[in-house]
Amino acid sequence: MRHPLTGGGMTVALSDIVVLRDLLKPLRDLNDAEALCNYLESFYTLRKPVASTINTLAGALYKVFSASPDQARTEMRQACFDYLSLGGVFSNGPMSLLSGLNPKPLSLVLHFFAVAIYGVGRLLLPFPSPKRLLIGARLISSASSIIFPIIKAEGLRQMFFPLTVPSYYRAASVKRE
């Protein structure tokens, strides 16, 4: 969670504190190791949407903005700048993802591919050529090769479907004295 490009680690840490605080609130005895372990297992599931969204975005941006001789990556980099400069939802969406205000991984994937498609559109307008069409195809392929391995490493099920993870449902037993 340390990304010099985005500084997302601190956002994730603050989000983790809020999730952990809310999760441990009903626990009366922090010395009850069994109950604490159950709560912590749920914590790792509950933190995943925010943490993985910010981590995936940071990793993807790092790869997009890393120096590369590939013209498709150069086009993707320029498309990213141009997409953000459109303003409105085109800048608010990515910024809300980066700040942790919108921890929806699907929104991240949609914006990421919107940037790629915007880049292809930039290439093909006003006059498409076979060379530009090829670069556009490589841009989409490059975008896929950036985002999908990061999502796979983060955990597809935990990232997009956290409600299906068993520990999400588990409520730790609270001992009352």
Residue 127 phi, psi dihedral angles, 5° rounding = -130, 110
Q: Are 56 and 40 in contact (CB under 8 A)?
A: no
Average pLDDT over residues 43-57: 85
- Calpha distance 177→174 (Å, rounded): 10
Task: In whole angstroms, give the CA distance from residue 129 to residue 89.
Answer: 30
Count other C-beta atoms under 10 Å from residue 85's C-beta. 9
pLDDT above 80: residue 162: no
Encoding tokens for residue 19? 């999730």
Which of the two residues, 136 and 156, has the higher pLDDT score?
Answer: 136
The structure's pTM equals 0.79
CA dihedral over 109, 111, 116, 120, signed as positive or negative = positive
Q: How far is the C-alpha of 127 from the C-alpha of 139, rounded, in Å?
A: 18
In residues, how long is the chain?
177
How many of the other CB atoms lie within 10 Å of CB of 113? 14
Q: Please give the mean pLDDT across all residues of the chain.
A: 85
Residue 1 has pLDDT above 60, yes or no: no
CB distance 97 to 57 below 8 Å: yes
How far apart, in whole angstroms, are the C-alpha atoms of residue 158 and residue 135? Answer: 34
Confirm if 167 and 42 have CB atoms less than 8 A apart. yes
Q: Percent of the chain scored above 90 by pLDDT? A: 36
Sign (positive/negative) of CA torsion 15, 18, 21, 24?
Answer: negative
Q: What is the pLDDT of residue 167?
A: 58
Single-letter amino acid, residue 98: L
Query: For the residues 152-177, what does the mean pLDDT come to?
Result: 65
> Is the pLDDT confidence value at 63 over 60?
yes
Spatial contact of 8 and 55, defined as CB atoms under 8 Å apart = yes
Please state the domain extents for the chain: 8-175
In tens, the pLDDT along 107-151 reads: 999 999 999 999 999 999 988 999 999 999 999 999 999 999 988
- Residue 73 token pair: 């990556």
